[in-house]
Amino acid sequence: MDLLASLAYGFTVTLAPANLFACFVGVFVGTLIGVLPGIGPVATMSLLLPVTYAMSSTASIIMMAGVYYGAMYGGSTTSILVNIPGEAASVVTCLDGYQMARQGRAGPALGISAMGSFIAGTLSVLGIMLMAPPLTAVALRFGPPEIFALLLLGFTMVTYLTAGSKLKAVAMALLGLLLGTIGLDPITATPRFIYGSLTLADGLGLVPMIMGLFGISEVLLNIEKGVEREVFDTRIKGLLPTREDWKRSAAPIARGSVLGFFLGILPGIGSIIPTFISYALEKRISKHPERFGTGMIEGVAAPEAANNAATGGAMIPLLTLGIAPNVVMAVLLSAFLIHGVQPGPLLIREHPEIFWGVIASMYVGNVMLLVLNLPLIGLWVQLLRVPYGILFPLILVFCVIGVYSESGNVWDIVVMLGFGGLGYLMKKFEFDPAPMVLAFVLGRMAEESFRQSLLMSRGRFDILLTRPLATTFLIAALTVMVLPVVVPPVKRMLRTVPLEEAD
Amino acid sequence: MRRRDLGAAAVLLVFGLVAVSQARGLKLGSVAAPGPGFFPLGLAIALSLVSLGLLVSAFRTPPGTVPPRADAGGRLKVLGALGALLVYALTLERLGFPLGTFGLLLFFFKVLQRQRWLVAVAGSLATSLTTYLIFKLWLGVNLPAGPWRL
């Protein structure tokens, strides 16, 4: 089969010593920065760009790609062990992963997360190989109404992520959307809510927001509670998940992989949104949805699979269309251009060594990561067992470095601190930050697609109903919204009927 | 009536109303050609309505378990930490990373944790220097050098 021949060719490219080394460096650095909160793949990849001048184009792309998916592996480690997401996409893993660690099950959590990531990563590369052409055909037909309807769906699903008051979650989501409007209007570039500040003109940064809401606020809460931090006095024994764990995780991993892969292809989605949706899905179909958030392994396996699969999916538009679907891919695109290579439909013909070499390297990289992560976990645990009194100032400094390194703007640090304080208050008053963050991320896209849809339809809202794809998403969103209202009364009705019959 | 939720809902409501007033200053456009103010106004109105709903709900739910009051000392520490971080951020470019971080860490070690002077100074020095070296010199992150042009 021609496909196998091309793949074999890719492997010969990848296994060349220079490329193999580049792959290793990429995944190692990726894991490292994934573990460290405060520094992300975007910043790291940008920093590595000058380093790649001296390397071949193939090696450069292989290394950069390695950083990206390596970071997805590493990010879960800090999420599980310290409840601080190493990466924005690992936020969801904190929810159940950290709880598992508190119950002494950090080992299985880390193990399943690594295994799930590996399986998902491998499956997603398979997906790239098999599906690149037809998938891009579908994605090309997405217009603003489809994007808006899909976002609405993601939006409603995330509101149901929250245990606790749905109304509070909606409030948080609305707040996130509002905060997303700060800056320049995407269509007319009118300044909104800027009040003369240049920093705000760019809009609130996602990195300062996430670092503040999840990183800084967590530290503040711990400072208040007092010194004793539960970084697991018990040895992390049993790194290997039990058979029970495997049984429970198999389906979530499969679902997460598929979901993450297909969502990752869509422009603007990135790896954060698939993890949220995957978690919501698992919670919805679980027999014990109320236990999510207390240490359910499905809540770790599925999102971890989703974020790794999404990184694979995100490569498709770049490799086949030359379109960067998210910021990270945009940096990768720059790497291509620096080396004079134009990614897109011609890539596979003009530079098959890059196309297939990168794909093969992703297989190799995933194996390397599995090997790196499992034994090195002991190292990370030692690292994180340092007394909290010494640890938390370091975490704070890393967060500051991470934010500053991205924009060079001191005021972004202030923004982060603001969100740190806000996150602290939110936790005290029982408001969930997750819907706010997601709505913020989605907001710009949602508004653009909303307005563009109205422009297209000249003010008629029924444009959403005349396009089949958009309507499907819309119906799904309405179903999710309506379900909790409809299901309990229906259940009650079903329960009363047999009683009456028994009369 | 739940006091906490009441307070939070009230704050949200105020925020929503302020947002409404601010959004009205922007051009709304028409439904066929929405302007910059269209979306924010809609959102602000929605937020205000939801906050109102939260307010009502807070009135109607019974208090439930009241979490133990955090001691004032803890909250003071949190304020202190935030304040220190704020000062750190604002002086970072003037003082430079090594000096600023040294100061911040010293504050944390000495004031928040009451370590001995020797431990605090040594720890702060070691940490600020090593992080600077790792991030600036090895990883090439652009950190402000401060007055000594390290």
Tell me the pLDDT tens digit for each residue of B135-149.
776 666 667 766 665
The continuous run of DSSP H or E covering A490 comes out as helix A468-502
Number of domains into which chain A is organized: 1
Q: Do A220 and B108 touch (CB under 8 A)?
A: no
Q: Do A404 and B12 touch (CB under 8 A)?
A: no
Q: Do A459 and B31 touch (CB under 8 A)?
A: yes
* Residue A147 binned pLDDT confidence (cut-offs 50, 70, 90): confident
**Taking the mean position of all CA atoms in its chain, how far away is CA A37?**
15
Q: Is B114 left (phi over 0), alpha (psi -120 to 50) or beta?
A: left
B81, B89, B141 member nearest A414 (Cβ) = B89
Name the residue range of residue A431's domain.
2-502
Q: Do A394 and B4 touch (CB under 8 A)?
A: no
Residue from B87, B125, B75, B89 nearest B105 by CA: B125
> For the range A453-461, what are the long-range contacts, defined as Cβ-Cβ under 8 Å and sequence gap of 24 or more?
A453/A143, A453/A144, A453/A145, A453/A148, A454/B31, A454/B32, A454/B33, A454/B34, A455/B32, A455/B33, A455/B34, A456/A143, A456/A144, A456/A145, A457/A145, A458/B32, A459/B30, A459/B31, A459/B32, A459/B33
The confidence score (pLDDT) of residue A503 equals 42
Q: Does residue A38 or residue A266 have the better pLDDT?
A: A266
DSSP B67: P
Per-residue burial over A290-311, b if 16 or more Cβ lie within 10 Å, else e, is ebbbebbbbbbbbbbbbbbbbb
B26, B43, B101 member nearest A190 (Cβ) = B26
Nearest chain A residue to B51 by CA: give it.
Answer: A171
Domain regions of chain B by residue span: 3-60, 72-148
What single letter denotes the amino acid at residue A218? E
Per-residue pLDDT tens for B4-60?
788 888 898 999 998 888 888 877 777 767 778 888 888 899 999 999 988 888 888
pTM for the whole structure: 0.67
Q: Does residue A132 or residue A185 have the better pLDDT?
A: A185
A165, A168, A193 member nearest B22 (Cβ) = A193
Per-residue pLDDT tens for A9-63?
888 888 888 899 999 999 988 887 777 665 667 667 766 776 777 788 889 899 9
pLDDT above 60 for A351: yes
B108 vs B127: CA distance, rounded Å: 12
- From B25's Cα to the closest Cα of chain A, the distance in A is 10
pLDDT above 80 for B127: yes
Both structure tokens of A391: 């640890």
